[in-house]
Every structure is written in structure tokens, then in C-alpha cells.
Amino acid sequence: MLEEYQFLFIALSYLVAFGALFTLTAACIVRYRKTHKIFTHLRQDICQNLHPKNPI
């Protein structure tokens, strides 16, 4: 009976594997881009506020 469903098991396996790989890749790239954005923003902020004495 299971032989009839073998394509279902194959499809499910590939769906889980590539779903997980795609999610992981997307999460890593999005995390990097977000972090890079914050870093660039902070660096610009620090560079713009150059002052011999702290103005705060």
C-alpha cells in the first residue's frame, strides 16, 4: 500500500528539506542586511558628530 504513496513521501521530504534550507538562507541574509544597515547608520552618526569636545 505504501508503494502507492511513495511520491508523497518524496515530495514531503524535498519540501521539508528545501523549505528549511530556503528559510535558513533567507534568515541569514536578512539578519546580515539589517545588521549592516544599523552599522552604517551608527558609523555615519559618529562621523557626522565629530567634535573636539563632546557636545552632549
Partner 1 sequence: MIEKYANPNRFQTLSKHLIPLFGILSLIAFTVGLYIAFFASPPDYQQKETVRIMYIHVPAAWMSMSIFFWMGISSFLVIWRRHHLANIAAKSMAPIGAVLAFICLVTGALWGKPTWGTYWIWDARLTSMLLLFFLYIGYILIQYTTEDHFKASKISAIFASVGLINLPIIKFSVEWWNTLHQGPSIIRAGGPSIHETMLWPLFTMAFAYLCLTVFLTLINMRTELLQQKIEGMLRRKVSEATHA
Residue entry with cell 528545501: 18
Binding site for partner 1 (CB under 8 A): 2-3, 5-7, 9-10, 12-14, 16-18, 20-21, 24-25, 28-29, 31-32, 35-36, 38-39, 42-43, 46, 54, 56
| Residue 2 C-beta: closest distance to partner 1, Å | 4
| Residue 10 C-beta: closest distance to partner 1, Å | 5
Distance of CA 27 to the CA centre of its chain: 3
* CA atoms of 33 and 39, how far apart (whole Å): 10
